[in-house]
Amino acid sequence: MTDGSDGTAPRGEIRDDEALAGDVPADEIPEEVPGTSRTIETNGVRLHAVEAGPEDGKLLVLLHGFPEFWYGWHETIVPLANAGYRVVVPDQRGYNHSAKPPDVGDYRIDELARDVVGVIDAFGRETAAVAGHDWGAAVGWWLVLHHADRLSEFVAVNVPHPTVFERTLRGSWSQRLKSWYVLAFQLPTLPEAVARAGNWRLPVRSMRKTSNPGTFADEDFRRYRRAWNREGAFEAMVNWYRAIVRDRPEPETTRVEVPTLVIWGANDRFLEKRMAGRSVEHCADGRLMTVDGATHWVVHEDPHRVADAIVDHADPLPPGARE
């Protein structure tokens, strides 16, 4: 297997359950989610992941965004596993139970993408379908632009193609204002201290204010606070933003050859809606599904519609199975 760029593979490996002993609480996975915790060695780091669905099913990797962890996709796991996918939802590096390397450079987008290639390797697959939300979508775009041979399909949820985002930032004061927090996160230590104040008052308030009423329950925030409180976690999470500003990566190509579906919650308060359609224009085989009434948090607000769209785009059954 190759990683699609320099010919070397991250060579991911699934570790036995003892690698997680004592680290993962008994209630990590809600009772209604038929998943199992696993440790995956990939690209020099150890990632925690939740997996579900038939072992011989088509591999589907779900990538969460900021400030979530694997749990951001938990309401989609049951319908996707029932559709026949082998669903794998990692805590990306820096988050929750996964490794938290100390340097900002450890969170460059190239490294984040190679982590996912190693996850695909760990399950012994040449390719996988990938769906990502927020930062998970940003990693997914990088994968389809630099590791296209490892993806069968891609679903991006509420984050645009990197070239579209860069051009929009240059030409739109409106988008610059929406992205003000990216610059704030460049300050050392202060963002972490402010976020932690008042039992994580700021991130909780932000998620509530930018989502539809009732989207997040108290139980959700209990889980998020627990993940954010893990040693070094929030600094590592913010380091994703520090790395992208310092590195300013440019993709090797802007053309996406992997079949791509862009799902966009129309009332996203962080990102301008016009970027969704412009992202599809960079795809050889691209579609846009706009979810009216939904926000940036559409995966939580309409999880079954998102899951159905993934199934429709990345058919879990082999050719001819539906005949």
- Cα 60–62–64 angle (5° rounding)? 175
From CA 6, how far away is CA 149, in angstroms rounded? 13
Q: Check if 296 is active-site.
A: yes
Contact in structure between 97 and 71 (CB atoms under 8 Å): no
Q: Record the tokens describing residue 246, joined without a space.
A: 């310092």
Considering the candidates 48, 91, 241, 268, report the single residue annotated as catalytic. 241
- HSE of 101 in the Cβ direction (CA atoms, 13 Å)? 19
Helices (H), 70-149: 74-82, 109-122, 135-146
Q: Check if 241 is active-site.
A: yes
Q: Match 């993709």 to its residue by tokens.
A: 251
Considering the candidates 64, 74, 97, 296, report the single residue annotated as catalytic. 296
- b/e map of 166-188 (b: 16 or more CB within 10 Å)? eebeeeeeebeebbeeeeebeee
Strand partners, 36: 51
From CA 229, how far away is CA 234, in angstroms rounded? 7
Considering the candidates 134, 282, 302, 313, report the single residue annotated as catalytic. 134
Q: Is the peptide bond before 67 cis (omega within 30 degrees of 0)?
A: yes
Catalytic machinery residues: 134, 241, 296
